[in-house]
Structure 1
Amino acid sequence: MWKRVVFVSLLAAVCFAQHSGIDRTSLDPTCKPCQDFWRYANGGWLDKNPIPARFPSWGPASVLSENTRANLRGILEAAKGTKAGDVYAACMDTAAIDAAGVKPLQPYFDRVAAIGSAKELSAGLVAAQSVTGVGPFTLQQLGDLKNSKDIILYVDSGGLSLPERDYYFKDDARSKQIREEFVKHVARMLELAGTQPEAAAAQAQTILAFETKLADATKTAVQRRDIPAMYHKVDFAGLTAMAPDFDWKLLFNELHLSTSAPINVTEPEFLKRFNQQLTSESLADWKTWLRWRLLTGSAGRLAKPIFDENFHFRSTVLTGVTEQQPRWRTCVGMADGSVGEELGKLYVDKYFPPQSRQRAKDLVENLRVTLGEQIQGSEWLAADTKRNALLKLKAFNSKVGYPDRWRDYSGLKVDAKSYFENAVASYRFERAYQMSKIGKPIDRNEWEMTPPTLNAYYNPLMNEIVFPAGILQPPFFDGQGDDATNYGAIGAVIGHEMGHGFDDQGSQFDAEGNMKNWWTPADLKSFTTRAGCVVEQYDTLDLGDGAHHKGKLVVGEAMGDLNGLKLAYRAYHRALKGKEAPVIDGFTGDQRFFLAFARVWGSQTRPEAVQLQTNTDPHPIAKYRAIGTLQNMPEFRKAFECQGTDKMVRVDEKQCSLW
């Protein structure tokens, strides 16, 4: 719920090389760098690489992602007889999937149809949770926010089919259109599952009204960033008191949990609304909604007509994507999601040599040392706050490449023929594994991502930064490139993850991963003011087409970008050891550094996907991650000789900075 993720890549070189790593054909020389540096750095590439019909956005990270998936495909097609190979093969057997139609769901539909009382409704909701995790609330295990060494159960809001609660209420034309399309989509899906057209249309309206009531008691994406407000630790009696009409004992029995298990309810008001609907909504409406949730939660594993309709709404309506991915790509994702560490071991054995891991570790350590120097040199932090910040930095647990201990999947039963059954088995296996951790000490060696993942994260509860093998490869790192491009691209994104330890959320956790205030009152006030600068900046960025960032939603990621780039710049100059960087391909070292950073965010995004991202995602749009960050860098202004009136420059009194 609170781990931070961002597309990054990671490798390092510490010597000068003979080429810059900057492809001049990717530039747009007709655009002035001080007016729109993102376009200047990426325009040539963007003009030659329009967004493919299969994607909501496209950029260098997308190219790397496709190359990695192609490598995984080759591994899986040669992995017959393994669990990963069986999951992939069953997913690829579309003839069998299409022949089955909706039959795999029929036993669950029959159980819903047989519900005849409130008690049986609880049993039906528990049963649905065991298929795909669908239900009016979500369950997960996480460290206790105030005692992160202990794993507890989190009961969170859920039950919504639209991307975020505001989609049920906003009155703008786009939101209204999405709700209209949603009702049509639900009706078509129900028809494909055997409901008569007239009944399906009526049930679709019922489902929208039902979910709107749940959404009304759900917090917004911005409200959910208030971590202390998401912490309400209770015992089993306290949980039951919030929703007394639901059979919690039945659920705990299904999860093999003791009623003595510690619990955090993230949104108590939501649970109270859930309980209210248990008694105020008709049994028929509950059954209609539950049948729908089973159907939509399983749509990706059913016959082509249902798969296609699900794609139409989830991808075309919401993100503007008009063409489906090839089947093999879907099945690579299925294998990674089911047995990711088995597949990951095969991947690193073939594509990730040990020396790459060590070089990445060395770069991470160099950034850590530089961040310590930044903190120590801060002019506004009090001595006590500096000491606590340095303790937290020293305690950072850096994980690079892959786990030192691999998951054991021997208890998972899958085969090469039963795709739907494999998916259910994988979900149940993973849920049992996660729930078994509750009440036990936290395992700090575990990973939240699989090795082939092209991403990275900071987890405040573990105080760890994690960089899977999937991102430790070209094109973001060039082993023959110079320090400037490596630090500008990879160093900035490593610094971004480190910066999350001190953003608006990470700053609320101490070195042990506990939610605890370690700031002096004066320093906390100053920090809040500095964070507010970033909020104001992103609130006012014009994205076009009526879209705007929510500054309070993206502040953590925007702070991570700014802190990360400033850290990488300082680390780059630290690596120079006082020497002058050479001019390569006509660019100074600092110019190459900033060009490499802008290339990391050289993605373009469809308007529909922009609307979705700005409503739901704490990450700013890629273009504005480059522009917004560089506007706060005096070093960028100097490198390209920008003037105070240029668009890439914020006036001094509006420039944002943390350290």
Structure 2
Amino acid sequence: MRKLAAFSLVTVLCLAQSGTRSGIDRSMLDTSCKPCDDFWRYATGAWVDQHPIPADRPRWGKFDELAEANLERLRIILEAAVNDRNATGDRRRVGDYYASCMDTAAIEAAGVKPLQPMLDRIAAIRTRPDLVALLVSLELEDGLAPARIVNVSDPQNADQVIAGVTAGGLSLPDRDYYFRDDARSKAIRDEFVQHVQKLLELLGDPAEQAGLAAKNVMEFETALANATLSNVARRDPYNRIHKTDFAGLALLTPAYDWTAAFDLLKVPRSVAVNVSEPEFLKAFNRELQNAPLETWKAWLRWRAARARAQYLPKAFYDEWFHFERAVLSGVSRQSERWKVCVASADGTLGEALGRLYVEKHFPAEARRRMQQLVENLRAALGEELKAAEWLTPETRANALRKLATFDPRIGFPVKWRDYSAVQVARGNYLASREAAIVEDRKYDAAKIGKRLDRAEWSMTPPTVNAYYTSARNSITFPAGILQPPFFDMDADDAVNYGAIGVVIGHEMGHGFDDQGSKFDADGNLKNWWTDKDRTEFDARAACIVKQFDAIDVGEGMHHTGKLVTGEAMGDLGGATLAYKAYRRSLNGGEAPALDGFTGEQRFFLAYARVWAAAQKPEAVRRQLATDPHPLAKYRTNATLQNMPEFHQAFNCKLGDPMVRPPAEQCRLW
């Protein structure tokens, strides 16, 4: 644990080397747009216009461009493993898995035979005890049951892993998709029923029977959705914390055999249990008791086909693609098979493949530079907390303690996962995938009742993203994101602070956003704020909510302020911290102008460049409905409208669209 005094001891160093280029690509700029009118358009407009969304993508931006490049790097690694006759261990494992995915001839020849054992088990259901027994057995396989046992950190003692029971069973992206009355939502529900029918027909059901079953599936899922928390309600951790014991769980759902489920997963019944959504479990119990067995069987057959559609013959994949990608996200063309298989390998054997990726594509110097950046951002946040006049000494001390215990994880895990138990069969893609799922379930269940492994990761190293974990109080930056345009060891400090520096500040900010602020330095769900400070904090968060509620993104669509609060706070806090850290790195001096821009201007241009992106209309609707992240344009503009530092850098005045009235500007600290 770091001491608080460490904040004043961080050495401020420039990251850039002598002769550094700016890293700003002027060809991205739309100079017909004024920076103070629409900075996102000014900074990224030409790039967006010149890079249409690929037909196999719902969106295209700088994140996606880098992710695509990483897919190509992983493809080269996997193809080399496929062709390496001397490969052993994980290298052979990922090669065989990729080869089995790419072998579409074998997949077509097998037809639905790999799925038949599951279909036979479903067909054998004659009684409700038969149904429950099958649902229990699926706990170890792919968790088709609406409720599922998982491992979670004890909210009151984060070092301890307890059992959790989560709500599931919904096939549409969000519970509100089942209830919205607008024309598009109704059309999606109609498409969903047709989609279920077509998959059941592919399994051999007559059209009339499949059509009736599809309608019953829709009614069944709607009943579950009615008892499911909304995305906004889920943002409050207190809405998802309901600790009980095994007996309490059994009382909530007496129709389910929790004894058999716990025993199958080898989970001790003596551990505490957190039920994320008690009302959902009650609804699950009602459906176990009352829903017709034929409805249950149709739902299970549909879910089994849906979960495996990408591993079955092309007709299944085509139907899955039509609904999941075309209808819901506006994608018009399937990705090349190699992309599908690379993504599958990354999702299934992520750390095995990630280790090969890191060895080839992540230099040690990048990790050292990132560590330095993280400490500079940590120091900047410490200064913000110390200077926040509205914080009482008690809350400030708690906040500084939490900051001091942040655990930054950079590039890759310190301990790699062991996949030796995963049996991969080249030539049998579905069997390989399901073997990996079973071992993954065993791996996760084995943690219940033990101490939390704080070194474990939940993203693979090639991932172009970053995240904060409340229970671990950790910030994680996979190797995949530590590349241009986010992190460029040859660019000047302004650009690196404006890009990866903001990402670092954003993830740190999650420790103090509407969710993270409810967890203490040890990862426990605990109120460490005085009532006065919490009231002031909530008012500052409400400013963000109000700002995003008021933004019209077109066609009458809006963000839901309470859904995007945490991410928007992370953006504003991250940009503010990174800017202060950048200024601090200059040691009181001024950066030279490069490529016609001051250091401050380069900082903000680098920030906006990260959010160069366009989306299909369907993808926009889906994001607004389900995603806590604002749309890319507003991650730039809405953030900078609140920053006087930006206004000064580009000489923006009150009355310009990029300047909110001072009384309306949101501040975090």
TM range (shorter): over 0.9
Q: 1:546 offset after TM fit, Å?
A: 2.5
Does the 8 Å contact 1:87/1:414 carry over to 2?
yes
Does the 8 Å contact 2:352/2:417 carry over to 1?
yes
Residue 192 of structure 1 aligns with an amino acid whose one-letter code is: L
Measure, in 1, the Cα distance between the counterparts of 2:485 and 2:569: 25
1:453 to 463, 468, 476: 463
- Listed one character per residue, the Cα deviations across residues 273-303 of structure 1 (whole Å, up to 9, x for unaligned) are 1111111111111111111111111111111
Matches within 5 A, 1:95-494: 95-494=105-504
Does the 8 Å contact 1:16/1:483 carry over to 2?
no
Structure 1 residues 574, 412: CA separation in 2 closer, same or farther (over 3 Å shift)?
A: same
Does the 8 Å contact 1:132/1:298 carry over to 2?
no
Secondary structure in structure 2 of the residue aligned to 1:286: helix
Measure, in 1, the Cα distance between the counterparts of 2:447 and 2:109: 39
Does the 8 Å contact 2:17/2:490 carry over to 1?
no
Residue 438 of structure 1 aligns with an amino acid whose one-letter code is: I
The RMSD of aligned alpha carbons is 1.2
In the alignment, what sits opposite 1:587?
A: 597
In the alignment, what sits opposite 1:8?
A: none
Residue 73 of structure 1 aligns with an amino acid whose one-letter code is: R
Does the 8 Å contact 1:455/1:470 carry over to 2?
yes
Residue 45 of structure 1 aligns with an amino acid whose one-letter code is: W
Secondary structure in structure 2 of the residue aligned to 1:154: strand
Q: 1:638 offset after TM fit, Å?
A: 1.0
Does the 8 Å contact 1:12/1:479 carry over to 2?
no
1:46 to 27, 32, 48: 48
Does the 8 Å contact 1:141/1:438 carry over to 2?
yes
Does the 8 Å contact 1:125/1:135 carry over to 2?
yes
Between 1 and 2, higher relative CO (CA 8 Å, sep ≥ 6) is seen in 1
Measure, in 2, the Cα distance between the counterparts of 1:389 and 1:500: 13
Residue 276 of structure 1 aligns with an amino acid whose one-letter code is: R
Matches within 5 A, 1:575-614: 575-614=585-624
- Listed one character per residue, the Cα deviations across residues 85-135 of structure 1 (whole Å, up to 9, x for unaligned) are 111110000111111122211111111111111111101112333332222
In the alignment, what sits opposite 1:32?
A: 34
Runs of at least 5 residues in structure 2 that lack an aligned partner in the other structure: 1-12
Does the 8 Å contact 2:462/2:479 carry over to 1?
yes
Measure, in 2, the Cα distance between the counterparts of 1:167 and 1:347: 38
Q: 1:12 offset after TM fit, Å?
A: 8.3
Measure, in 2, the Cα distance between the counterparts of 1:131 and 1:322: 32
- Listed one character per residue, the Cα deviations across residues 456-505 of structure 1 (whole Å, up to 9, x for unaligned) are 10001100000111111123222222111111111111100000000000
2:99 to 89, 100, 108: 89
Is structure 2 residue 58 aligned with structure 1 residue 56?
yes
In the alignment, what sits opposite 1:501?
A: 511
Measure, in 1, the Cα distance between the counterparts of 2:502 and 2:96: 39
Does the 8 Å contact 1:12/1:360 carry over to 2?
no
1:66 to 57, 65, 68: 68
Residue 35 of structure 2 aligns with an amino acid whose one-letter code is: P
Does the 8 Å contact 1:125/1:290 carry over to 2?
no
Measure, in 2, the Cα distance between the counterparts of 1:310 and 1:87: 22
Measure, in 2, the Cα distance between the counterparts of 1:194 and 1:270: 32
Measure, in 2, the Cα distance between the counterparts of 1:474 and 1:583: 21
What is the TM-score when the length of structure 2 is the normalising length?
0.96
Measure, in 2, the Cα distance between the counterparts of 1:328 and 1:263: 41
Measure, in 2, the Cα distance between the counterparts of 1:621 and 1:347: 30
Measure, in 1, the Cα distance between the counterparts of 2:312 and 2:148: 23
Measure, in 2, the Cα distance between the counterparts of 1:453 and 1:94: 26
Secondary structure in structure 1 of the residue aligned to 2:231: coil
Secondary structure in structure 1 of the residue aligned to 2:160: strand
Does the 8 Å contact 2:250/2:258 carry over to 1?
yes
In the alignment, what sits opposite 1:630?
A: 640
Does the 8 Å contact 2:140/2:442 carry over to 1?
no
Q: 1:529 offset after TM fit, Å?
A: 0.2
- Listed one character per residue, the Cα deviations across residues 38-71 of structure 1 (whole Å, up to 9, x for unaligned) are 0000011111101111111111111111111100
In the alignment, what sits opposite 1:550?
A: 560
Q: 1:234 offset after TM fit, Å?
A: 1.0
Measure, in 1, the Cα distance between the counterparts of 2:69 and 2:14: 21
Measure, in 2, the Cα distance between the counterparts of 1:418 and 1:561: 45
Measure, in 2, the Cα distance between the counterparts of 1:448 and 1:478: 25
Secondary structure in structure 1 of the residue aligned to 2:554: coil
Measure, in 2, the Cα distance between the counterparts of 1:243 and 1:70: 47
Secondary structure in structure 2 of the residue aligned to 1:260: coil
Measure, in 1, the Cα distance between the counterparts of 2:273 and 2:568: 32
Residue 268 of structure 1 aligns with an amino acid whose one-letter code is: P
Q: 1:394 offset after TM fit, Å?
A: 0.5
Measure, in 2, the Cα distance between the counterparts of 1:219 and 1:16: 54
Measure, in 2, the Cα distance between the counterparts of 1:16 and 1:222: 48
Q: 1:13 offset after TM fit, Å?
A: 2.3
Secondary structure in structure 2 of the residue aligned to 1:264: strand
Residue 41 of structure 1 aligns with an amino acid whose one-letter code is: A
- Listed one character per residue, the Cα deviations across residues 344-399 of structure 1 (whole Å, up to 9, x for unaligned) are 11111111111111111111111111111111111111111110000000001110
Residue 230 of structure 2 aligns with an amino acid whose one-letter code is: T
Measure, in 2, the Cα distance between the counterparts of 1:523 and 1:434: 38
Residue 314 of structure 2 aligns with an amino acid whose one-letter code is: K
Does the 8 Å contact 1:535/1:552 carry over to 2?
yes
Secondary structure in structure 2 of the residue aligned to 1:215: helix
- Listed one character per residue, the Cα deviations across residues 123-151 of structure 1 (whole Å, up to 9, x for unaligned) are 11123333322221233212111110100
Measure, in 2, the Cα distance between the counterparts of 1:92 and 1:137: 33
Does the 8 Å contact 2:139/2:149 carry over to 1?
no
Measure, in 2, the Cα distance between the counterparts of 1:319 and 1:516: 39
Q: 1:256 offset after TM fit, Å?
A: 1.4
Secondary structure in structure 1 of the residue aligned to 2:205: coil
Residue 439 of structure 1 aligns with an amino acid whose one-letter code is: G
Does the 8 Å contact 1:57/1:604 carry over to 2?
yes
- Listed one character per residue, the Cα deviations across residues 15-40 of structure 1 (whole Å, up to 9, x for unaligned) are 56443211111000000111111000
Residue 238 of structure 2 aligns with an amino acid whose one-letter code is: P
Measure, in 1, the Cα distance between the counterparts of 2:19 and 2:664: 38
Does the 8 Å contact 1:547/1:610 carry over to 2?
no
Residue 61 of structure 1 aligns with an amino acid whose one-letter code is: F
Percent identity, aligned pairs only, is 55
Secondary structure in structure 1 of the residue aligned to 2:511: helix
Residue 374 of structure 2 aligns with an amino acid whose one-letter code is: V
Secondary structure in structure 2 of the residue aligned to 1:156: strand
In the alignment, what sits opposite 2:543?
A: 533
Residue 21 of structure 1 aligns with an amino acid whose one-letter code is: G
Is structure 2 residue 653 aligned with structure 1 residue 651?
no
Secondary structure in structure 2 of the residue aligned to 1:618: coil
Q: Which moved more, 1:133-142 or 1:640-649?
A: 133-142
Residue 385 of structure 1 aligns with an amino acid whose one-letter code is: T
